[in-house]
């Protein structure tokens, strides 16, 4: 007597080569949004794959790349919404790849190609799970909806209008987010939220042209100095952000959040090895390091450019200077508040001359750790992996999950096929075959748990 999950496993095993082939075909379409390549062919192929497992799939035009939307009813009223994307990062620099990025290559226990982890592997694993569950149960236990956008890698510029225009269509009881990972031992890791982001360009111009620093160094204002002085007022050396009211809306982690963080294994040494630095900010370690990683808002200088940057000496007084500054926000901070606080702060400090341009913005969002969806996720992970997943109450990264949680009102978890060495966005992106298989099984188990 076999259990439904054992029959799911058998189906997946039997058809595994087909799913690997499906992933290879999808990775062969270089759907690079930043370069406008392969977008329509990839969207069309994705819709075909979803239709083939019985979903009603269509391409919906946006002001940018089309969204693939698909849905199917289930035997119960419960509906699961899947968020994925069919676009990938550029593969450059090509010379760092050990094999062609758009020809999926199998090496030992790895599948290697651009998009194999982010996010085509997850998409195929969900299609495989649907096929397996339908084969075993005869029908889908819960309704399924897919929103698969084609602009995730260029910051989803048309996603918000799409969601606003399709709130009713997208209504669901639970959402599985696009990324999922495993640790070195193959234990699945889930994130229950994402920090928000407020990405700004700060710029200042003090003259029409750069000047000789000998002639003008002591009489003309210097854009580089203006920028340095202005930036310096934003954060003190104790890492405290100085904007008025910046921390006012921050919600402290709960005891349950801290309990989850305490249950996670230490990764201090691994991170030190990876980044090559001997000390973390504020000497944090262990649970406190993890708390800081996800529950502390940041003000990161991502880049500064001004004046001469080549070899040797050029004696120039720069007329223009600019910085890219990235605030990561925790619940319930809002990027629009940060922009207002920043303008007020600069003005109060005499920096009327610093221009602020909003490059990208998104609110933080999270799902409560004890939400029934999380319980289902944990239970389905136990079904497949024989142990509980590692649960991070938030991720340090950002993404458009707020658009879903706020507009559709849906709880969100991550579940997928990657691992800590997947090299997403980098050359030689890869997944482990076993994680790919387990991702399919985990998704199938979750569908059955939600329909139970």
Site residues (CB under 8 A) for its own copies, limited to 120-139? none
Residues pairing with 85 in the sheet: 149
Residues 343-372 that bind its own copies (CB under 8 A): 350, 359-360
Verify binding: residue 251, its own copies, rule CB under 8 A: no
CB of 37 to its own copies, least distance (A): 18
Given 1, 63, 219, 255, the residue binding its own copies (CB under 8 A):
219
Give the closest residue to 170 by CA, choosing from 48, 62, 71. 71
Q: Which is nearer to its own copies, 281 or 344 (CB)?
A: 281
Strands 196-205 and 355-362: antiparallel
Cα–Cα distance, 441 to 443 (Å, whole number): 5
Query: How many other CB atoms sit within 10 Å of the CB of residue 202?
Result: 22
Q: How many residues does the chain have?
A: 452
Q: How many residues bind its own copies (CB under 8 A)?
A: 74
Nearer to its own copies, 263 or 274 (CB): 274
218 is an interface residue for its own copies by CB under 8 A: yes
Do residues 377 and 384 lie in contact, with contact meaning Cβ atoms separated by under 8 Å?
Answer: no
Nearer to its own copies, 138 or 312 (CB): 312
Of the candidate spans 79-87, 113-121, 201-209, 378-386, the one that interacts with its own copies by CB under 8 A turns out to be 201-209
Q: Min. distance of Cβ 417 from its own copies in angstroms?
A: 19
**3-state SS assignment for residue 120:** helix
Q: Considering the complex, what minimum distance in angstroms separates the CB of residue 335 from its own copies?
A: 13
* DSSP per-residue codes, 169-187: HH--SEEEES--EE-TTS-
Candidates 328, 345, 366, 442; binder of its own copies (CB under 8 A) is 328
Q: Which is nearer to its own copies, 181 or 341 (CB)?
A: 181
For residue 221, state whether it binds its own copies (rule: CB under 8 A).
yes
Decide if residue 329 touches its own copies (CB under 8 A). no
Tell me if 195 contacts its own copies by CB under 8 A.
yes
* Subset of residues 370 to 429 that bind its own copies, contact rule: CB under 8 A: 395-398
Q: Quote the CA–CA distance of 167 and 170 in Å, as a whole number.
A: 5
What does each C-alpha distance from 96 to 91, 101, 148, 426, 427 come to in angstroms?
A: 10, 10, 29, 9, 6
Span near its own copies by CB under 8 A; candidates 17-25, 109-117, 121-129, 230-238:
230-238
Which of residues 182 and 328 has its CB atom nearest to its own copies in the complex?
328
Alpha helices in 349-432 (DSSP H): 372-385, 401-407
Comparing CA positions, the residue from 309, 299, 320 lying closest to residue 234 is: 299
Binding of its own copies by 89 (CB under 8 A): no
Q: Give the separation between CA 323 and CA 231, rounded to whole angstroms.
A: 9
Partners of 32 in the beta sheet?
88
Yes or no: say if 373 and 345 are a contact pair by the CB < 8 Å rule: no
Q: How far is the CB of 451 from its own copies (least distance, A)?
A: 34
- Interface residue with its own copies among 1, 269, 279, 386 (CB under 8 A) is 279
In degrees, rounded to 5, the angle at the alpha carbon of residue 370 between the alpha carbons of residues 367 and 371 is: 55
Q: How far is the CB of 349 from its own copies (least distance, A)?
A: 9
Inter-residue contact 41 to 25 (CB < 8 Å): no
Among 214, 269, 370, 386, binds its own copies (CB under 8 A): 214
Binds its own copies (CB under 8 A): choice among 82, 197, 261, 431: 197
Which of 100, 160, 171, 229 lies at the binding interface for its own copies (CB under 8 A)? 229
- Radius of gyration (Cα) for the chain, nearest Å? 24
Smaller CB distance to its own copies: residue 10 or 220?
220
Q: Is 247 in the site for its own copies (CB under 8 A)?
A: no
Which residues from 254-273 bind its own copies, rule CB under 8 A?
A: 271
Least Å from the CB of residue 360 to its own copies: 5
**Planar angle of CA 418, 422, 423, nearest 5 degrees:** 145
Contacting its own copies within 288-327 (CB under 8 A):
289, 292-293, 296-298, 300-309, 312-319, 321, 323-324, 326
State how far Cα 216 lies from the chain centre. 47
What number of CA atoms fall less than 13 Å from residue 7's CA on the CB side?
13
**If 0-12 CB within 10 Å is exposed, 13-18 middle and 19+ buried, where does residue 96 land?**
exposed
Is 211 a binding residue for its own copies by CB under 8 A? The answer is yes
Give the torsion through C-alpha atoms of 369, 370, 374, 379, to 10 deg: 130
Q: Kindly tell me which residue out of 104, 231, 342, 391 binds its own copies, with binding defined by CB under 8 A.
A: 231
Q: Is 275 in the site for its own copies (CB under 8 A)?
A: yes
Nearer to its own copies, 14 or 232 (CB): 232
């Amino acid at each position: 007597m076999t259990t439904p999950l054992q029959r799911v496993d058998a189906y997946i095993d039997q058809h595994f080569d087909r799913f690997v082939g499906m992933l290879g075909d999808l990775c062969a379409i270089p759907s690079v949004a930043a370069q406008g390549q392969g977008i329509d062919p990839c969207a069309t192929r994705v819709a075909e794959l979803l239709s083939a497992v019985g979903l009603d799939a269509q391409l919906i035009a946006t002001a940018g790349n089309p969204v693939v939307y698909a849905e199917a009813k289930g035997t119960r009223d419960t509906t699961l919404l899947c968020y994925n994307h069919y676009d990938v990062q550029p593969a450059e620099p090509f010379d760092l790849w050990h094999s062609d990025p758009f020809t999926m290559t199998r090496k030992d226990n790895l599948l290697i190609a651009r998009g194999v982890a982010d996010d085509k592997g997850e998409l195929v694993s969900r299609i495989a799970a649907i096929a397996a569950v339908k084969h075993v149960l005869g029908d889908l236990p819960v309704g399924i909806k897919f929103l698969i956008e084609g602009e995730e890698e260029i910051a989803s510029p048309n996603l918000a209008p799409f969601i606003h225009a399709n709130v009713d269509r997208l209504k669901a009881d639970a959402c599985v987010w696009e990324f999922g990972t495993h640790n070195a031992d193959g234990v699945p890791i889930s994130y229950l939220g994402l920090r928000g982001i407020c990405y700004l360009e700060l710029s200042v111009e003090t003259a029409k042209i750069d000047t000789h620093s000998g002639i003008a160094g002591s009489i003309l204002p210097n854009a580089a100095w203006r920028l340095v002085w202005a930036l310096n007022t934003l954060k003190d050396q104790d890492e405290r952000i100085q904007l008025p009211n910046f921390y006012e809306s921050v919600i402290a982690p709960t005891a349950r959040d801290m309990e989850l963080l305490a249950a996670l294994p230490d990764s201090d040494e691994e991170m030190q090895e990876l980044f090559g630095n001997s000390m973390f900010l504020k000497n944090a370690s262990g649970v406190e390091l993890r708390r800081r990683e996800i529950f502390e808002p940041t003000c990161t200088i991502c880049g500064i450019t001004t004046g001469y940057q080549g070899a040797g000496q050029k004696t120039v007084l720069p007329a223009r200077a600019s910085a890219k500054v990235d605030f990561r926000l925790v619940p319930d901070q809002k990027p629009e508040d940060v922009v207002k606080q920043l303008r007020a702060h600069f003005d109060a400090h005499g920096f009327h001359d610093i221009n602020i341009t909003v490059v990208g913005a998104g609110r933080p969002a999270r799902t409560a750790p004890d939400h029934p969806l999380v319980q289902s996720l944990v239970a389905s992970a136990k079904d497949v992996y024989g142990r509980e997943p590692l649960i991070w109450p938030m991720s340090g990264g950002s993404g458009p999950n707020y658009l879903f949680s706020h507009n559709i009102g849906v709880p969100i978890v991550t579940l997928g096929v990657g691992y800590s060495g997947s090299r997403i966005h980098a050359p030689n992106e890869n997944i482990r075959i076993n994680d790919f298989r387990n991702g399919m099984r985990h998704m199938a188990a979750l569908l059955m748990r939600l329909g139970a």
